């Protein structure tokens, strides 16, 4: 059986944000076993799984990504929406547009220190939509 819903995240500033609890709240009931696939419908934001305990990990994500893909590079051709536009698209491709999490005994089967991150790469954020699909 497949169940699907679309949710809109609250507005977030640029950075990496833990959204595991938001997703859990939206998923009223989970099957005993299955998979949750989370997909973001945007090209300048991303999703990933990582360390959920120490908030400095999120700060370091931003620092590392900005060093790898800096703004204002004179070689970028796609810059019509600002200096963060092309870097946001590239960071989105680097990080990914989806995550898949096992469901076990009616709960998301994340590791002890794992959380679902929403990565906002734009300086001025927009509403971001996620598609949550449960395969059971």
Are the CB atoms for 107 and 32 separated by under 8 Å?
Answer: no
pLDDT tens digit sequence for 3-17: 999 999 999 999 999
For 79-112, give the DSSP string.
-TT-TTHHHHHHHHHHH-SEEEEEEETTEE---T
pLDDT tier, 125 (very low <50, low <70, confident <90, very high otherwise): confident
Domains of the chain: 2-135 (2.60.120.460)
């Amino acid at each position: 059986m497949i169940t699907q819903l679309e949710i809109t995240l609250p507005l977030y500033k640029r950075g990496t944000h833990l959204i595991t609890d938001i997703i859990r709240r939206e998923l009223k009931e989970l099957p005993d076993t299955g998979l949750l696939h989370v997909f973001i419908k945007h090209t300048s934001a991303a999703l990933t799984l990582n360390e959920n305990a120490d908030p400095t990990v999120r700060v370091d994500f931003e620092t590392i990504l900005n060093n790898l893909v800096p703004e204002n590079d004179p070689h970028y051709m796609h810059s019509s929406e600002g200096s963060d536009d092309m870097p946001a698209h590239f960071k989105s491709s680097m990080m990914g547009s989806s995550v898949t999490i096992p469901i076990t005994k009616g709960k998301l089967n994340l590791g002890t220190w794992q959380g679902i991150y929403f990565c906002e790469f734009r300086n001025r954020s927009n509403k971001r939509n996620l598609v949550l699909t449960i395969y059971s």
